[in-house]
Amino acid sequence: VNSLGLDAAHLGKSTHAFYCTHLRSEPSMDSAVALITAMICGPLALYAAFGASYFASWTEEEELMELERLYRERGRGESFVLSSWRWCRWAYFVFDILVAMWLRYYLDLYLDIQAMKIFWEHGDIWFFVSNFGGIVPEHRD
């Protein structure tokens, strides 16, 4: 885009090069650039999302209609948040059962069997029997 002899692409590249060579090393410039970007991109994003109606002045009736629409959206949002919270709790519970209990149990059993194998090979019968007693559950009638 050329306007009054100014090439927009060249201006953008020059600005980026100036920022990279001179301003990037200063810590305060990061927050200033973020603030300026938010001030420029924020209204543009609102305009892109809601159109010119976001910036127009509304009558009282239009404001009430918009408020009702927002409450309906909020109700849908609350149900989504609750359902996602329930799903996360269910997923955490399943993960806790599968990993923290089931997998841990079988890992412990595997390590006990390995220890018993080592005790048996070295002739430590009492360690073998005590470890076996800890693995086999006690049966009561």
Q: Can you give the pLDDT at residue 1? A: 45
Q: Identify the three-state secondary structure at position 103.
A: helix
| Cα dihedral 10, 11, 16, 17 sign | positive
pLDDT tens-digit map of 84-115: 888 888 888 888 888 888 888 888 888 888 88
% of the chain surpassing 90 pLDDT: 0
pLDDT tens-digit map of 112-135: 888 889 888 988 888 888 888 877
Residue 90 sits at the vertex; the CA angle it makes with 89 and 96, to the nearest 5 degrees, is 90
Chain mean pLDDT for the chain: 77
Cα–Cα distance for residue pair 116/127, rounded to 1 Å: 8
Higher pLDDT, 9 or 132: 132
% of the chain surpassing 70 pLDDT: 82
Cα–chain center distance at 79? 20
Higher pLDDT, 47 or 4: 47
Q: Are 131 and 112 in contact (CB under 8 A)?
A: yes
Strand partners, 6: 3
| Cα dihedral 52, 58, 64, 67 sign | positive
Q: Are 119 and 128 in contact (CB under 8 A)?
A: yes
* Strand (E) or helix (H) holding 3: strand 2-3
Q: Identify the three-state secondary structure at position 43.
A: helix
Higher pLDDT, 6 or 10: 10
84: its two tokens: 């996602």
Q: Are 18 and 24 in contact (CB under 8 A)?
A: no
Q: Among 39-48, 54-63, 75-84, which stretch is predicted with the lowest mean pLDDT?
A: 54-63
Q: Can you give the pLDDT at residue 93? A: 86
Hey, what amino acid is at 136? V
Query: pLDDT band at residue 140, thresholds of 50, 70 and 90?
Result: low
